[in-house]
Amino acid sequence: MRFRIILNTVDATRAIGNAGGTMKDVKARTVFVPPRRDRGVVSRCIVESGLRPTAQREVVYGILLDKLDHPTADEVFLHAKQEKPDISMATVYNCLDALVKHHLVKQVHLDRAATRYCPNMHEHAHFQCETCGDISDFEGASKPRQSGFKVPRGFKVTHSEVSMRGVCADCSGKEKTK
Ligand SMILES: [Zn+2]
Ligand SMILES: [Zn+2]
């Protein structure tokens, strides 16, 4: 199993100006992942995030909630086209950007592959299976203080991303029967 942790740190002395505001905004919203395919809830979540619930945003957010497999923008586009044949790739990108900016969805970067999207806003790490490529969410604290990393004095961590690789339960089961 291989670990990869990305820490975005800012020098605390330079961040004093705006750090308070942004952190408070993020904490103010309770993390809530709506059940799949509940369109009423999907649109309410979009409204609560401060976005206007357009049909396109509902389709894109609905796909991410439905397909909990961390799709890339291209994959979201393919699914969106089935529901809304007139939707364009540019619109899908705009919707994804808006959902990310409003903390409904987060971007996931695994190695050098295309950016993926995840609607699970709970603290979690990503595990990618080296055999089948599936990505799973591992719930748990991924805060750098709890991960055992020593954050030097004067640095303030604003974002951390934990990713692991290995073999998933399905694939290791298959390997055992060979
Ligand atoms: Zn995830
Ligand atoms: Zn697997």
Q: Using pLDDT thresholds of 50, 70 and 90, give the confidence band for residue 33.
A: low
Separation between Cα atoms, residue 163 and residue 4, nearest integer Å: 5
| 28 pLDDT higher than 50 | no
pLDDT of residue 175: 56
Element (H, E) at 127: strand 124-129
Tell me the average pLDDT of the chain. 79
CATH topology of domain 1-30+122-178: Dna Ligase; domain 1 (3.30.1490)
* Dist. CA 74 → ligand 1 center (Å): 17
CB 8 within 8 A of CB 157: yes
* Dist. CA 115 → ligand 1 center (Å): 12
Q: Which of 88-102, 112-126, 140-154 reaches the highest mean pLDDT? A: 88-102
CATH topology of domain 32-106: Arc Repressor Mutant, subunit A (1.10.10)
Ligand number nearest to the C-alpha of 70 = 1
Q: Which of 10-19, 106-115, 138-147 reaches the highest mean pLDDT? A: 106-115
Angle between helices 89-101 and 73-83 (to 10 degrees): 110
Ligand number nearest to the C-alpha of 165 = 2
pLDDT of residue 116: 94
pTM of the model: 0.71
pLDDT of residue 29: 40
Domain ranges of the chain: 1-30+122-178, 32-106
Separation between Cα atoms, residue 80 and residue 74, nearest integer Å: 10
